[in-house]
């Protein structure tokens, strides 16, 4: 045993935690070394102080009741806190939360389902400059109705192979108006990837409406030149086709007969692959019928030929223009979810102007070819050939 | 006698009388630990109250598969240390009050030579002061070991460390105490004749 070892074991030695053999060695060394003996004494004094409990005060007798009182108070406070938190949110907070929720919902809808938002205007519609005669198409109910009638599809549609340069409204002339629709070149295909198509359509319709008083068959001097060069994706009247009733000798008097369903021309020379499945008057007013001929082919592809008296279009447009009550947004919204390509052109049958719309589940090219093929006649029932 | 763990279970089911029983069982030991840690009666009593309120509120966290006493003593140690750290700059500990009576009250061991008695009293006073100068971690382990008479295994449960770690901590605490004591003597220029003990 040496002093170093003694220092190492001195605490256990004082606590009597050493083995008997080691304890004997420690005892022996302590008797021989005064320094280590002093260490032992000092350690014992430390132990005395560390273990001393004589000075330990005693808790007051009322300690437990006071603790229980504190616990009760804390419980009561917690209950009050719970009650407070159960109160409904203040009106201001609720208002903010509700506004935030609505704004978030609108943003979500604007991103993922823009067609659902009723007041949203498509950027193309808003940005399209006014074309042709009349007011801006955005605010013009005539144009709105035209969009409705022509079933403008949603802006995503972009497929079209038609050369629009041949269909500029500028190329229209009074001579072209007399060309038979059955022998015309392929009608334009509407590619409703842009709302300006509707604007052009409305512009053309406005031309027809404005030209109506000129029942002498003359074309207004500015009717073909007021529109600017059309952008791509715009719906046009077919080149060489009768552009308006005025160009075809004016709209016949509204005697009622010419507006009946039975008086409407029927489509002919529809390819034999298509079978007529249904004939529907989509207008509630029997005097202003809008007849839809539904055809399907063996692949269940749908072809819809819609025929409408241009005079009726005009009257509807004028009526809407007077009431100024028609909102365009629901129309656009409703169509946006049904992407389709349409071919719209006018025909002249028996001195009466009609608007023909071809749509369905066919491609733009097919519709264009069908527009070339299909003719209309007043006397022959619509049959598929 | 109902076990502490069963009482805890009852408390969790809304039995406040069970909690009162638990307070009566542990109030002295908790107060003892806290008092030795903070060295002030009123402060110790307030902290002891705080400990029991904490125990009441956090009882759902108690693992009933383990013993209750180490858990509550651990809360006592931690709460005392937390309060010491918060009020370190405010409270001047009364060393005489916290660890042992003033040396005048020490009886038997100090009988004999008046000069030697006086020196021993001085040394014991220095030891008490040195204990209070130790870091809280060392002081807490010394309190549990020498004041609460806990074994190393029990201390390990309270502090959440291994038994070996407790042994190491105790040894280091004793070394630190001795070092602090010698430092005090050195600062005062006192040359103790250790053989005088």
Phi, psi of A306, deg, nearest 5: -110, 130
Q: What is the model's pLDDT at position A157?
A: 40
**CA A165 to chain CA centroid, nearest Å:** 32
State whether residue B41 sits within 8 Å of chain A by CB: yes
Looking at chain A, which residue has its C-alpha nearest residue B56? Answer: A71
A203: its two tokens: 């512009």
* Phi, psi torsion values for A343, nearest 5 degrees: -115, 120
Question: What superfamily would CATH give domain A123-377?
Answer: MucB/RseB, C-terminal domain (3.30.200.100)
**CA proximity to A287, closest of A257, A267, A316:** A257
| A71 pLDDT above the threshold of 60 | yes
Question: How much helix, strand and coil, in percent to the nearest 5, is found in chain B?
Answer: 75, 0, 25
| Structure confidence at residue A4 (pLDDT) | 87
A227-241 average pLDDT score? 37
Q: What is the mean pLDDT of residues A93-97?
A: 84
pLDDT at B25 over 60: yes
* Mutate: best of B14, B178, B184, partner A, most A CBs <10 A: B178
User: Bigger pLDDT: B49 or A332?
Assistant: B49
B132: nearest CA in chain A?
A50
Q: Indicate the pLDDT class of residue B164, thresholds 50, 70 and 90.
A: very high
Is A70 in the B-facing interface, judged by CB distances under 8 Å? yes
Q: What is the pTM of this model?
A: 0.46
Q: What is the mean pLDDT of residues A120-143?
A: 43
CA atoms within 13 A on the CB side of A157: 26
* Environment class of A118 (CB within 10 Å of its CB; exposed 0-12, middle 13-18, buried 19+): exposed
CA–CA separation, A30 vs A304, rounded Å? 118
**Domain layout of chain A by residue ranges:** 3-51, 66-112, 123-377
Q: What's the confidence (pLDDT) of residue A232?
A: 38
Q: Which of A48, A50, A69 to mutate to test the interface with B (most CBs of B within 10 A)?
A: A50
Question: What's the mean pLDDT in B176-181?
Answer: 90
For B147, the closest chain A residue by CA position comes to A51
pLDDT of res. A7:
87
Residue-wise pLDDT for B30-43, tens only, equals 999 999 998 889 99
Mean pLDDT over A128-141 rounds to 41
Alpha-carbon span A213 to A223, nearest angstrom: 13
Q: What is the mean pLDDT of residues B104-131?
A: 69
Higher-pLDDT residue of A131, A22: A22
Non-local CB neighbours of A331 within 8 Å, separated by 6+ positions: A144, A147, A148, A152
Give the H/E segment covering residue A307.
Answer: strand A302-309
Per-residue pLDDT at A377 exceeds 50: yes
- Structural domains for chain B: 1-93 (1.10.1740.10), 96-197 (1.10.10.10)
Q: How many C-beta neighbours within 10 Å does residue A242 have?
A: 29
- Candidate from B20, B100, B197 with C-beta closest to A52: B100
Whole-angstrom distance, CA of residue A14 vs CA of residue A317? 113
Q: What is the pLDDT of residue B188?
A: 78
User: Which range is least confidently modeled, A6-20, A321-335, B41-55, B84-98?
Assistant: A321-335
Angle, helix A63-86 to helix B16-38, in steps of 10 degrees: 110
Q: Cβ of B24 under 8 Å from any chain A Cβ?
A: yes
Q: Which residue has the higher pLDDT, A345 or B166?
A: B166
A153, A208 contact by CB (below 8 A): no
pLDDT, residue A244, reads: 36
**Which pLDDT belongs to residue A84?**
58
* Average pLDDT over every residue of A273-292: 78
CB contact under 8 A, B24 and A64: yes
Among left, alpha and beta (phi > 0; psi -120 to 50; other), residue A360 is left
Size of interface A-B (CB pairs under 8 A): 107
pLDDT tops 70 at residue B6:
yes
Q: When comparing pLDDT for A177 and A37, which is higher?
A: A37
Which pLDDT band, with edges at 50, 70 and 90, does A117 fall under?
A: low
The residues, any chain, with a CB within 8 Å of residue B93's CB and separated by 6 or more, are: B38, B39, B40, B132
Do A278 and A296 touch, CB atoms closer than 8 A?
A: no
Closest A-chain CA to B101: A55
Residue A367: predicted pLDDT? 86
User: Is pLDDT larger for residue A250 or for residue B83?
Assistant: B83
Query: What whole-number distance in Å separates Cα of residue B167 and Cα of residue B149?
Result: 14
Q: What is the mean pLDDT of chain A?
A: 63
Mean pLDDT of A146-165: 40
- Reference A199, options A120, A308, A124; nearest CA is A124
pLDDT above 90: residue A89? no
Helix (H, G, I), strand (E, B) or coil at A344: strand
Task: Answer yes or no: do B127 and A46 touch at CB < 8 A.
Answer: yes
Residue that is written with structure tokens 């808790």 in the block: A59
- Chain A residues with CB-CB distance to B39 below 8 A: none
Residues of B in contact with A58 (CB under 8 A): 28
Instruction: Choose, out of B12, B19, B23, the residue to mutate when testing the contact with A (most A CBs < 10 Å).
Output: B23
In the predicted structure, residue A124 carries a pLDDT above the cut 80: no
The per-residue pLDDT for A64 is: 92
Output A125 or B32, whichever has higher pLDDT: B32
ipTM over 0.90: no
Chain mean pLDDT for chain B: 83
- Per-residue pLDDT for A49 more than 90? no
Residue A307's pLDDT band (cuts 50, 70, 90): confident
How far is the CA of B181 from the CAs of A157, A346, B100, in angstroms? 92, 113, 16
Return the residue of B nearest to A42 by Cα: B197
């Amino acid at each position: 045993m040496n002093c170093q070892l003694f220092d190492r074991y001195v605490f256990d030695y004082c606590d009597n935690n050493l083995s008997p053999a080691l304890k004997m060695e420690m005892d022996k060394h302590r008797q021989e070394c005064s320094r280590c003996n002093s260490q032992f004494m000092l350690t014992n004094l430390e132990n005395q102080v560390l273990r001393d409990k004589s000075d330990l005060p005693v808790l007051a007798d009322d300690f437990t009741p006071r603790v229980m009182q504190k616990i009760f108070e804390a419980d009561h406070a917690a209950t009050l806190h719970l009650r407070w938190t159960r109160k409904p949110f203040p009106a201001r907070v609720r208002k903010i939360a509700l506004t935030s929720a609505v704004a978030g919902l609108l943003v979500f809808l604007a991103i993922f389902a823009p067609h659902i938002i009723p007041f949203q205007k498509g950027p193309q519609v808003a940005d399209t400059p006014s074309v042709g005669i009349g007011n801006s198409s955005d605010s013009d109910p005539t144009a709105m109705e035209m969009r409705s009638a022509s079933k403008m599809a949603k802006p995503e549609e972009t497929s079209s192979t038609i050369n629009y340069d041949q269909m500029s409204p500028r190329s229209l002339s009074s001579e072209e108006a007399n060309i038979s629709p059955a022998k015309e070149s392929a009608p334009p295909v509407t590619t409703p990837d842009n709302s300006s198509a509707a604007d052009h359509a409305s512009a053309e319709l406005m031309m027809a409406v404005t030209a109506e008083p000129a029942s002498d068959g003359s074309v207004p001097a500015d009717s073909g030149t007021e529109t600017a060069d059309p952008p791509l994706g715009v719906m046009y009247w077919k080149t060489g086709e009768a552009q308006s009733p005025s160009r075809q000798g004016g709209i016949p008097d509204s005697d009622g007969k010419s507006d009946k369903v039975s008086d409407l021309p029927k489509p002919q020379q529809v390819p034999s692959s298509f079978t007529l499945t249904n004939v529907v008057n989509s207008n509630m007013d029997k005097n202003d019928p809008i007849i839809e001929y539904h055809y399907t082919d063996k692949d269940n592809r749908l072809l819809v030929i819609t025929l409408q008296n241009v005079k009726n279009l005009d009257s509807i447009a004028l009526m809407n223009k007077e009431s100024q009550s028609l909102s365009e947004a629901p129309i656009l919204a409703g169509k946006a979810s049904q992407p389709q390509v349409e071919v719209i052109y006018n025909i002249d049958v028996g001195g009466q102007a009609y608007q023909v719309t071809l749509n369905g589940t066919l491609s733009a090219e097919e519709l264009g070819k069908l527009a070339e093929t299909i003719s209309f006649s007043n006397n022959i029932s619509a049959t598929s050939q | 006698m109902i076990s502490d763990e069963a009482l805890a279970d009852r408390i969790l089911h809304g039995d406040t009388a069970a909690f009162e029983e638990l307070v009566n069982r542990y109030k002295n030991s908790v107060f003892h630990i806290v008092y030795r840690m903070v060295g002030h009666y009123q402060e110790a009593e307030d902290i002891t109250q705080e400990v029991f309120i904490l125990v009441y509120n956090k009882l759902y966290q108690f693992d009933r598969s383990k013993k209750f006493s180490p858990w509550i003593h651990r809360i006592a140690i931690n709460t005392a240390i937390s309060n010491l750290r918060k009020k370190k700059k405010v409270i001047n500990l009364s060393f005489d009050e916290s660890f042992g009576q003033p040396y005048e009250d020490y009886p038997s061991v100090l009988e004999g030579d008046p000069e030697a008695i006086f020196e021993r009293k001085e040394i014991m006073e220095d030891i008490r002061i040195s204990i209070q100068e130790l870091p809280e971690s060392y002081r807490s382990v010394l309190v549990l070991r020498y004041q609460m008479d806990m074994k190393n295994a029990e201390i390990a449960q309270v502090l959440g460390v291994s038994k070996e770690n407790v042994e190491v901590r105790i040894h280091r605490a004793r070394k630190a105490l001795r070092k602090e004591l010698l430092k005090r003597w050195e600062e005062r220029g006192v040359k103790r004749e250790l053989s005088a003990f």
